[in-house]
Amino acid sequence: MALAMTMAGPVTAQSDPENTLIIELKDGEVVIDLRPDLAPRHVEQIKTLARQGAYDNVAFHRVIDGFMAQTGDVQFGDMEDGFAPGRAGTGGSDLPDLPAEFSDEPFVRGTVGMARAQNPDSANSQFFIMFDEGRFLDGQYTVVGNVVSGMEHVDNIKRGAQARNGAVDDPDRMIDVTVAADR
């Protein structure tokens, strides 16, 4: 059984299948314990998009070594030939943007947070997984979950160019994204 520690104590990947997200990567599965206690609207939107298949084949378009891997651009992130020029990471979904659900939960290795534009209420479909601690994000971005197993697969995601703010050529992709309760 996968086990991870959070501020609230141990959580397991099997504790609540309705709030467990499974991402299939090229090297294996990543299991995320979603946190509706922290961000109920964001978690519901992620589950809705996963159930629609919107995250399947979506690229990790921005990956910065020692920081995070960003994905979830369902509008432009599943193009077979990469992204539309100048569009990488600019898309969302057909669902509405969400009001911020900031919390005191820290951004540490394995934390999953929602990406957004400058407006705090602009998160939609994109999210990121932390490679390392990023406490400067605390209280500025919405925490939606924590990786409870498969972090070694996240570590293997292709990194982007430092000079291009982590933009990735020929990026790795989320092959399949499901809610555990639907398996």
Q: What is the band of 87 on the pLDDT scale with cuts at 50, 70, 90?
A: low
pLDDT tens readout for residues 19-34: 999 999 999 999 999 9
Residue 115: which H helix or E strand, with range? none
Residue 3 has a pLDDT of 41
Strands 58-59 and 173-174: antiparallel
Give the lowest-confidence range in 95-109, 116-130, 151-165.
151-165
Q: What is the band of 91 on the pLDDT scale with cuts at 50, 70, 90?
A: confident
Joined tokens for residue 49: 């998009």
Joined tokens for residue 168: 């990735």
Residue 89 has a pLDDT of 58
Domains of the chain: 18-182 (2.40.100.10)
Residue 90: which H helix or E strand, with range? none
